[in-house]
Amino acid sequence: MTNQKSNYEIQTQKALLLFPKWDHEKIAKKFNLELDENYLYINFIGQKYRLNRQNGSIQYFSKNNTYIDATYNEVMSILDLFDYSKEHLHLSGNWCTPNSLKGVVNGGNVGGKNTMFGKYETLFSNNINLLSKACEKLGGQKIDEADIGYIINIFDFLPVKFLFFEEDCDFPPEIKFFWDENVLDYIRFETTFFAFSHLLQRIAEIIKNEI
């Protein structure tokens, strides 16, 4: 019996088919990226990715010196940056929650706790010291906010603020994140969640490898 592809796999493959048709020289110049005859390269959350200019495949270079195919969140985050971003980009220096970004009419669950992060909040609560080490492995800049706070680059030119609040007698553990006010000039609103979800996955992978 043939395994059916998930909707994520189908959407990923469709997105990858578009990339070979784009102007790679223009993209490389816009974001100051490395480009050669076969690949366009970009850093995404502490890993270097290569995009095949002929077939659109996206891979990252692993610590085992092998190339591994990117998954849905990685593919959609990188390609959305290239396809959607405005011509002239700059950061404002002002941090916003996703629901308070300019142009977001109804982000849902405004001011509420994000239940998507529950498994990560549990993992991070039980490994506080490793959480800080993981953020630093990803190049995070420590800030004096929350119980643990870091500014981490999603792309070299686009940071996110990650905050973790430990559990106390009144409140459960909680993850919060903030984007620059101009992030929606770079990527779509839904893509901010793809990118941040992959950041949490990367942090969790580092912690689990240390446990």
Span 7-55, pLDDT tens digits: 777 888 888 899 999 999 999 999 999 999 999 999 999 999 999 999 9
Which pLDDT value is given to residue 64?
A: 80
How far apart are the C-alpha atoms of 65 and 183, rounded to whole Å? 33
Is the pLDDT at 111 greater than 80, yes or no? no
Q: Where in the chain is the domain with CATH 3.30.310?
A: 95-210
Instruction: Enter the tokens of residue 106.
Output: 């109804």
Which pLDDT value is given to residue 196?
A: 97
In 3D, which of 157, 159, 126 has the Cα closest to residue 140? Answer: 159
Instruction: Enter the tokens of residue 123.
Output: 């993992």
How far apart are the C-alpha atoms of 57 and 19, rounded to whole Å? 9
Span 186-205, pLDDT tens digits: 999 999 999 999 999 999 99
Span 54-104, pLDDT tens digits: 999 999 998 788 999 999 999 999 999 999 999 999 999 999 999 999 878
How far apart are the C-alpha atoms of 127 and 120, rounded to whole Å? 11
How far apart are the C-alpha atoms of 177 and 182, rounded to whole Å? 15
Q: What are 47's strand-pairing partners? A: 44
Asked if 125 contacts 166 with a C-beta cutoff of 8 angstroms, the reply is yes
pTM, entire model: 0.90
Q: Looking at 30-145, which runs of residues are DSSP E strands?
A: 39-44, 47-52, 58-61, 67-69, 95-96, 141-142
CATH fold of 95-210 reads TATA-Binding Protein (3.30.310)
> Tokens 């101009």, residue?
182
Residue 17 amino acid letter:
L
How far apart are the C-alpha atoms of 67 and 86, rounded to whole Å? 30
Instruction: Enter the tokens of residue 94.
Output: 């002002």
Q: At what angle do helices 189-210 and 118-125 cross, to 10 degrees?
A: 30
In 3D, which of 98, 17, 82 has the Cα closest to residue 44? Answer: 82
